[in-house]
Amino acid sequence: MVRQTFAVQSRVGDEHTVHDSLQAIATVLALINPVMCGAIFAQIEGTRPAKALLADATRSALTVLVILVLAALVGVRILDLFGVSLDAFSVAGGAVLSWIGFSMLRGNSAAQDSKHAGASAQAALTPLILFAASPGTITGVITLAVAHSKRTFPVTALVAVGVGTVVMWLALVFAIYMGSRASGGGFVHDTVTRFMGLIVVAMGIQFALTGIRAFFTASS
């Protein structure tokens, strides 16, 4: 009888763990938004050689992976160390994301800026990295790490981050092999860039408003 009870509890626990993992993966994928990442990557990279594009895609995905893994492992401790709440972080990060969106609305993508200024290609990847590892994504990963980890090691959040960054990398690779059809040119290129900039601005404002509302709700 005891063995049967233990088996049932173990099976229920496993099902709950699987449900948490699937929920976390879906959350991280929605926050990273791999489709949007692929579109941004196609816009900022242009028509560079495929080998260089693949290296940039891998570098971007690895950078996002490192940022989100650190957020899952020590994000809460870092914010506590500086006395910053998740709500305040969301507001500040939303402002940064909105600034990136306004830059895209003006048609000054990071890739164009780096070409004219002679900066490195890695600098052009900054908007993509900041979009994928946005304040909303970091806040979501920290929340998952706190909510789903019954132990000190946030396994569920780390699995979700791993899956999310792999899907992001696949989206970037798909954008590379789409070639000119993905990047467009001239009027189409500018229109798509400005439309994506509008979306990024809206996301940044949403993150900021959510943080402000949560801050005042917690204070009241």
pLDDT at residue 165, rounded to an integer: 96
* Residue 95: how many other CB atoms lie within 10 Å: 15
pLDDT at residue 122, rounded to an integer: 55
* Residue 73: how many other CB atoms lie within 10 Å: 18
- Distance of alpha carbon 29 from the chain centroid: 8
Q: What mean pLDDT do residues 158-174 have?
A: 94
pLDDT at residue 137, rounded to an integer: 87
pLDDT at residue 15, rounded to an integer: 52
Given a contact cutoff of 8 angstroms between Cβ atoms, the answer to whether 136 and 90 are in contact is yes
pLDDT at residue 152, rounded to an integer: 62
Per-chain mean pLDDT for the chain: 76
In the chain, the N- to C-terminal Cα span, in Å, equals: 50
DSSP state at residue 208? H
One-letter amino acid for residue 3 of the chain: R
Crossing angle of helices 135-148 and 155-178, in 10° steps, is: 150
* pTM of the predicted protein model: 0.70
> Tokens for 164?
């999310």
State residue 49 phi and psi, 5-degree precision.
-60, 150
* Residue 100: how many other CB atoms lie within 10 Å: 23
Given a contact cutoff of 8 angstroms between Cβ atoms, the answer to whether 160 and 21 are in contact is yes
